[in-house]
Every structure is written in structure tokens, then in C-alpha cells.
Chain A
């Protein structure tokens, strides 16, 4: 029995003050937001944060092996270190606060409304709302959500002990999910519509595991079931349909930007990602963005963190010019 105590999130943080005009308000506390907060605070700016989930996607990652300087760490330990670093600077963080609206008024100041909370004001905003799992978009997926269709392998894996599961996808997160699941499930079938695109070092690990099989160039077209999932229907390259019985379908086919706040406010690209320039500026002056929500390619922790820092420094320049 182990304990995964998260001191940083449980320890109370200072409150946000609606009477203060903040220099920077940051939406999101993933690697991008946390690093932005660190950099902004160290510049001497007044900073506040909003979050719906401390640590963002990193808490759902079992092991991180590509953050420079840390050879191997669990996602949650990494988050704990990030949060401890930010908490040491006494930055107010409004938790369980889903931001509903960012507004820039005629006076050039921003107002942020989070569900049920008061309105907070700032000179700049850094949006680091990250991304969420992409859905397969096939028949049955929504019907069986939470009834066999799952998007978090480390969360729901234990519920599939000694059962058969399918992992949809062929990137790093899919292969990692398959490896995690192979430890509890009876059998793991990876199904991917093209060739594997996960890092070689991860694919090599998978090849030594007995209870994982890979089916490539096969497209899932339907999730089937009764009360719970009992199989999928897929189509191979030649168009032939096959049916694979299974107890669970873990969908790991990439991510979609959390862009609800940005729609109608700033320019997005064709994928719905917030367009930013080299200085992390969006099309709306004073609003900066970093991390998975942006059109910066390659969604990684180190990249998001780096871009978060950049956004904070850029916001600092903007504030200096306002004076």
C-alpha cells in the first residue's frame, strides 16, 4: 500500500484579491502555466492563477523520462516539484475554478470570470489551458463512455484486472498506456490505423511484453456493447471488416486544444490551436498563450514549460511599455 500525498495541492495557497489589478493572471496550472508564474513572479510582477486541475495532464502520466536533468520520475512527482517551486513564491491559485470568459475592456484591462467566483482584473493574461484527449469519433464511443471506453490508462486500468482491453492509437501515449495496462489486464491489443509513430525506445520496451499484440493499418469503426463494451468493429487496409471482442477500449489517439476561451477572442489555426508568434503573443495585445493550446508543434512538458517562461517574459515587456 503506498501513499501519493500531494503536499503542494493540499496546502492552502494565498487567496486571490478582487480589489487588486494584477499584472498577470494565468489560466491553467500545467507545465506552461506554472513556469509562466515562476518567471512572472521573479520579474516582480503581481501574479494570480486559475485552475481546474493542478498539474494539468502531467498528473495523468505514469512515468516521465524526457525532462532534462531528471532521468525518471512519475508524472505526479514532477508536478509536486513544479508546484512546490511555485508555492514557495506564495502565488495565489484559485483551485477548482473553471474560467468561463476572458474579456478585454476598452480601457485595455482584462477581466476574468470563473464559474461561481468574483471577477478578477489584470493588465495581461497568459492562457495555458492545454489540451484534452481526442475522441475516435465512432459510433458507440459516447454511449459506452465510462462503460468500457476510457481515456486515462493509469486511472481506469485497475478496473480491467484480468480482462481484455484494446488500446486505440500508435503514438507515445498509446504505447505507454499499453505497457501500463499489460501489468493488470489479461491481454492488450493495440489497434492503430497506420504505422506506429511512438519513440523507438518505447516501442522496444513493448516488444518484450508477452501479453501485448499490435494490429496496424486497421481502423476502428464502431464500439459495440450491451450494458458494457463487449467488442469493436474495425476495418483493415483492404476494407475488410473484422470484429474483435474486448472488455475495454482505451483511446489514446492524440489531443485537441482546450480553446473554448479563445474562440471569438483570438485567431486560431485550422486545428483550433491558438496562433502565437515567437514572443508567445496572440492576435489580441496583452493576451499571451503557451503550451499545448497553441500552434507550437510538438506537445511536450519541456516545450510547454519553456514557452510558458517565454510568455511571462513577453508579458513583462508588454507591461513595461504600458507605463
Chain B
């Protein structure tokens, strides 16, 4: 079944006209037990048709274990956005980015294509000091209107600094890891599995929490 209707296809095509470089969507699935994998693949197939600059790579977490490891993919379905050189830039979506999360997924593609807006200068300076690995998990539900804002911020930070990687985690699909981090409000942001906060907080808060990991 198609997820996109004609109106939406046209809107997305218009948005993708702002893309600068090519982007590859690497989607990891697994045959058998994964409920949302088929749907995720067909969704991505539809997205691929909306711009010549979007390419799709379908991968299997077991058969392509090496790539999965390179991108630190641990769950399925998982979508990794690769830049024009097919390099990993630290941006990942675990679970289908449908519902409201389409509003973080589409901007994510634009960002990786190099047509996103730059972070304000003040933050760029602060990020220069980040030199140790940082992982940002953003737990969401698909019915949460302000979750995409938090995912976008995390992804922007990841793009800006090579030591930072950021992943959306759809809390209902991945309930085991959500329970591990006691997710009962979204967006919930967990940094290096240690520092956490709730809500689509201003960028300062993200940056402050990130800096705690650098001590």
C-alpha cells in the first residue's frame, strides 16, 4: 500500500528541490520477526522516487553486518542517512519515521544534502571543544508533535561535529530499550546513556548536557 498521496508527493518534491548534494538512504532490515520492516522499505522506496538526488540502499542487519557495525546499527528497521560520498555522518532513525516523525526525516535528508541552515555562531564555537565521542538518543512516539524538533536539533549537532552521532528511537517499536531508559514522556533525550532530559528543550540545553560528557 502506498503511504504518500498525490498532494504529499508534490509537496515533498517541492521541498526536495532545495537539496544540494546527493543523499543515500541506507535502510537496515531483517527477514522474519520484524513487524515494521516491510512497511519501512516500501515507504523509503516511495521517498526515493521523489528526487534524482535520493538513492536507496536496502541492507540486512545480518548479511551486511560489517556495514551495520560501521554505522552502529543495532535494531531494525533502522535508517542511516549517508552523504554524497556515501559516508556516515552520524544520523540515524530507528523505527519507521512516519506520523509526525516525517517532519524530522525530511529535514534530515535536506541537512545531509548540505542545504540545511547553519547553527547559530555561538553554538558552533561551543561545539569546537567537543572532542570525545557523544551519542544522542532521542526517544519519540509517532503521535508527538514536538518530538521532531528535538530529533532535528540532535541531528544538526551530529552533522556539525564529527564526534557526535544522534539517533531517533521510536519508543513503542523498541520498548525494551525504552524501558531500560524509563521512557514515559517524549521526547526524551539520553546522552552517552548517562545524561538525560525530557522535552524539546532549547539548543543550549543539548549543548550543556553534551559538555558534561567531555569532562
- Whether, in the assembled complex, A9 has its beta carbon less than 8 Å from a beta carbon of chain B, the answer is yes
- Whether, in the assembled complex, A146 has its beta carbon less than 8 Å from a beta carbon of chain B, the answer is yes
* Shortest distance from the beta carbon of A148 to any chain B beta carbon, whole Å: 5
Assess whether B122 is in contact with A3, with CB atoms less than 8 Å apart: no
- Whether, in the assembled complex, B117 has its beta carbon less than 8 Å from a beta carbon of chain A, the answer is yes
- Give the CA-CA distance A114 to B103 in the complex, in Å: 23
* Shortest distance from the beta carbon of B105 to any chain A beta carbon, whole Å: 10
Assess whether B15 is in contact with A11, with CB atoms less than 8 Å apart: yes
| Tally of A interface residues using CB under 8 Å | 46
Listed by A's residue number, 20 A-B pairs whose Cβ atoms lie within 8 Å are A1-B99, A3-B8, A7-B11, A10-B106, A52-B202, A53-B200, A60-B145, A76-B100, A96-B202, A115-B204, A117-B120, A146-B196, A152-B146, A155-B186, A156-B141, A156-B185, A157-B143, A158-B143, A159-B186, A229-B184
Q: Contacts of B147 on A, CB cut-off 8 Å?
A: 155
Return the contact of B144 from the options A10, A52, A152, A248 (Cβ within 8 A).
Answer: A152
From B200, which residue of chain A is reached at the shortest CB distance? A53
From A13, which residue of chain B is reached at the shortest CB distance? B117
Residues 134-149 of B contacting A (Cβ, < 8 Å): 141-147, 149
Assess whether A2 is in contact with B15, with CB atoms less than 8 Å apart: no
Chain A contact residues, CB within 8 Å of chain B: 1-7, 9-12, 15, 52-53, 55, 59-60, 75-76, 96, 98, 114-118, 145-152, 154-161, 227-229, 248
| Inter-chain pairs besides A53-B146, A75-B145, A152-B146, 9 sampled, C-beta below 8 Å | A4-B99, A60-B145, A118-B120, A146-B199, A152-B144, A155-B143, A156-B141, A159-B172, A248-B184
Return the contact of A146 from the options B18, B123, B198 (Cβ within 8 A).
Answer: B198
Return the contact of B103 from the options A2, A5, A148, A151 (Cβ within 8 A).
Answer: A5
- Whether, in the assembled complex, B130 has its beta carbon less than 8 Å from a beta carbon of chain A, the answer is no
Bits for B172-200, please: 1 = Cβ < 8 Å to A, else 0: 10000010001111101000000011111
Most A CB atoms within 10 A — which of B178, B196, B202? B202
Q: Contacts of A9 on B, CB cut-off 8 Å?
A: 103
Most A CB atoms within 10 A — which of B12, B149, B152? B149
Q: Contacts of A150 on B, CB cut-off 8 Å?
A: 184-185
- Give the CA-CA distance A157 to B185 in the complex, in Å: 9
* Known contacts A96-B149, A156-B184, A159-B171; A115/B141 CB under 8 A: no
* Shortest distance from the beta carbon of B128 to any chain A beta carbon, whole Å: 14
Assess whether B3 is in contact with A3, with CB atoms less than 8 Å apart: yes
* Shortest distance from the beta carbon of A117 to any chain B beta carbon, whole Å: 5
Assess whether A155 is in contact with B153, with CB atoms less than 8 Å apart: no
- Whether, in the assembled complex, B50 has its beta carbon less than 8 Å from a beta carbon of chain A, the answer is no
* Known contacts A2-B98, A12-B18; A115/B103 CB under 8 A: no
Assess whether B144 is in contact with A155, with CB atoms less than 8 Å apart: yes
Assess whether B185 is in contact with A4, with CB atoms less than 8 Å apart: no
- Whether, in the assembled complex, B80 has its beta carbon less than 8 Å from a beta carbon of chain A, the answer is no
* Shortest distance from the beta carbon of A25 to any chain B beta carbon, whole Å: 17
Assess whether B99 is in contact with A3, with CB atoms less than 8 Å apart: yes
Assess whether B98 is in contact with A3, with CB atoms less than 8 Å apart: yes
* Shortest distance from the beta carbon of B5 to any chain A beta carbon, whole Å: 9
Assess whether B99 is in contact with A53, with CB atoms less than 8 Å apart: no
Q: Contacts of B8 on A, CB cut-off 8 Å?
A: 3, 5
- Give the CA-CA distance A159 to B152 in the complex, in Å: 22
* Known contacts A117-B122, A154-B145, A157-B143; A4/B103 CB under 8 A: yes
Q: Contacts of A52 on B, CB cut-off 8 Å?
A: 202
Assess whether A1 is in contact with B39, with CB atoms less than 8 Å apart: yes
